[in-house]
Structure 1
């Protein structure tokens, strides 16, 4: 699916009806009556509409439940991310301070060495 296409998230269940008002289970090319493997219950048009409404209601409830769980999961992730960021900052601060102090001490050491080189009696060379 490309970025410009929109997904179809419709929640409708479609059913087909025969001319006599009974729901069909698709094309039947051969006579399979009496075969328990192919005994699919047939419904009247009214029963089919009730079943369709019931299935659509269940589908909507499932989708709503799914969405609320995804929202809750996202909220929990945001909280986790914020806490993890705070923990990282707390642990990082002492190391950054230590690194800054180390860098400062190295600069002072370098300055002392340069100063000692400029004093003739401190430099044996």
Structure 2
């Protein structure tokens, strides 16, 4: 934001403003369509602000919400009464647990503890070399 304030819109990538205008208009159109369609149809149209949450918070939150929605969907199929009674409490607990995990995560990051998993993306040629090394 500071760079944008100092250098102006010229500091943005080439088609950034065009994309901003397009997605702004699309968000308004989606909201209008959601408002004018019957409830049977509009309940399947997502809210643009809800789709924007991962951009503000991070993608991990959207993944957590998706997994929680799948769990609640299955739970409602198995036992709707208990899902209705305890679903909000379980969802709140999962969200709080995810938030509380940031404290130990920060401590581990400050202590420079390396995770016990290594993930690296290799080119096809480098991957073939690693596979041949591991094979024999």
TM-score after normalising by structure 1: 0.28
The structure, 1 or 2, with the larger RCO (C-alpha pairs under 8 Å, 6+ apart) is 1
Larger helix proportion of the pair: 2
TM-score (ref. length: structure 2): 0.26
